Structure 1
Amino acid sequence: MISFSFILPKKSLTLVNSNMSLNAALNLLEGGNFLSLPVVKNNEFLGVISKEKILQRMMETPEAEIFVEEIVRRDIPSLGMDSDPEEAAQLLANTNTPFVAINDVNEGFTGIITHKTIFKHYSALFGINKGHKLIITSYDIKGRLAQLTDIISKEGGNIISLIIDNPNVSTNVVKIILRLECEDIDLLRKSIEAAGFSIRK
């Protein structure tokens, strides 16, 4: 389930109504120095409108009165609150979209998830700038990770985050990136290396 900590809520967003004229929408974009904004109709998310698209359409048909709904980009992905954050991250990574819209079954359009909110959340999960960072290489052998965490526990260490990076090389070696709290990091490093692990300097 998607946590509200991921979401930029609707109330904090500048929204464009679908029945706005292109001139009004352009003024809204330029007033807030935005390149694009979400478009809504009542409480329904329709898509996104960009400054580039508006200017292009105005040059093509300068005399016509055109409304946002006619040129809104509608291929913006959306998810429900019951989706996983990983789904939003994958959509942002694999599609050319500035955000993912989040909808609630009862309340309609709830907000958006952006590249920045995903990055900030996962940075917090990884414990960036917290504790000590160790980059350890080891053969990918069953029970090896359990051995490593046991050493850390015995030396009084507390793991903040642990990531295994498998570079897909033929040597069957993995990189373990740890962030941990420990009173004597040098003693812990020696204990880890004594068990046959290699710690990157």
Structure 2
Amino acid sequence: MNIGTIIKKAEELNTISIDDTLGKGLKIIEENDLLSLPVVEGKKFIGILSRQYVYETYFKEDGGDKKEFLERKVKEFMKTKVPSVDDLKMLVEEAAAMFFANNKLRFIPVVNEDEELLGIITKKAILERFRFIYGMNEPRLVIYIYDFKGKLAKITDIIAKAGGNIRNIVQADTEVLGLQEITLRVKANDIRKVVKSLNSHGFEVREFRE
């Protein structure tokens, strides 16, 4: 799955220009409960204005006249060395790796060949996509079994016949006499019917979270 499916488009974003005042930028940030803002010149992406950096700078300068401080220009405080991407076909996993590599990264700007801002990728959007892919919003079932290969097919068949749809399966070796832990995310109109059916076929669901 590529980032084109989770991009927040430029026209949906709050942005600020290099010659706008710091006060204007902070007002937009605070009113929209943001951590930072894309800085643009026309449509071209220039950098970001970080609320944390602005506050840190103010206190490092021993405060001073707040009104005068807020009249200063965004270009004095923006960060220009911001990793960006220019390929909407980039995998969501690759974008996630960029956030892991730089924990100070607030969002990933997506630009075209002219460096015009097309939109941004946020951590929240990536998390929601992974939650969807791996069925994290669905009930969680945990079963312990021996003979993984022989019994997994039976488990999936039982779930399907009980009206369940498996969204994700994770198998882990407990390192105890060949015992395997099977964690499933299952979507069903009646998840308790699925659990009951598994139990009736001899599979004990050790953990069940709706």
Q: TM-score range by the shorter chain?
A: 0.7 to 0.9
1:76 pairs with 2:85: no
CA distance in structure 1 between the partners assigned to 2:143 and 2:93 by the alignment: 26
1:149 maps to which residue?
156
* Counterparts of 2:81 and 2:169, CA distance in 1: 34
Shift in Å, 1:14: 0.7
What residue is the counterpart of 1:120 in the other structure? 128
- CA 1:69–1:139: 2 relative to 1, 3 Å: farther
TM-score by length of 1: 0.72
Cα distance, 1:178–1:20 mapped onto 2, change above 3 Å = same
Distance of aligned partners of 1:199 and 1:41 in 2 relative to their CA distance in 1, 3 Å threshold: same
Following TM superposition, by how much is the alpha carbon of 1:105 offset from its aligned partner in structure 2, in angstroms? 4.5
* Superposed displacement of residue 128, structure 1: 4.6
- Residues 3 and 121 in structure 2, CA contact (< 8 A), matched pair in contact too: no
8 Å contact kept, 1:126–1:160: no
Distance 2:167 2:46 in 1: 38
Matches within 5 A, 1:28-43: 28-43=28-43
Question: 2:119 corresponds to which residue?
Answer: 111
The 3-state SS of whatever aligns with 2:34 is coil
Aligned length: 195
Which residue number in structure 1 is paired with residue 169 of structure 2? 163
Alignment of 1:30-109 (within 5 A): 30-57=30-57, 60=61, 66-79=72-85, 80-96=87-103, 97-105=105-113, 108-109=116-117
The answer (yes or no) to whether the contact 1:76–1:99 under 8 Å persists in 2 is no
**Displacement after TM superposition at 1:69 (Å):** 2.9
CA drift of 1:32 comes to: 3.9
Identity of aligned residues (%): 28
Deviations 1:75-99 (A, max 9, x none): 4332320100111222223422221
**1:129 positional shift:** 4.7
The separation in 2 between residues aligned to 1:198 and 1:93, in whole angstroms, is 37
Instruction: Please tell me the root mean square deviation across aligned C-alpha atoms, in Å.
Output: 3.5
DSSP 3-state at the match of 2:141: strand
Q: Do the aligned partners of 2:135 and 2:168 also contact (CA within 8 Å) in 1?
A: no
Gaps spanning 5+ residues in structure 1: where? none
Q: Alpha carbons of 1:43 and 1:144: their partners in 2 closer, same or farther (altered >3 Å)?
A: farther
Q: Which runs of 5+ in 2 are unaligned?
A: none
Does residue 7 (structure 1) correspond to residue 16 (structure 2)? The answer is no
1:200 paired residue among 194, 198, 206: 206
Question: In structure 1, what residue type is equivalent to 2:6?
Answer: F
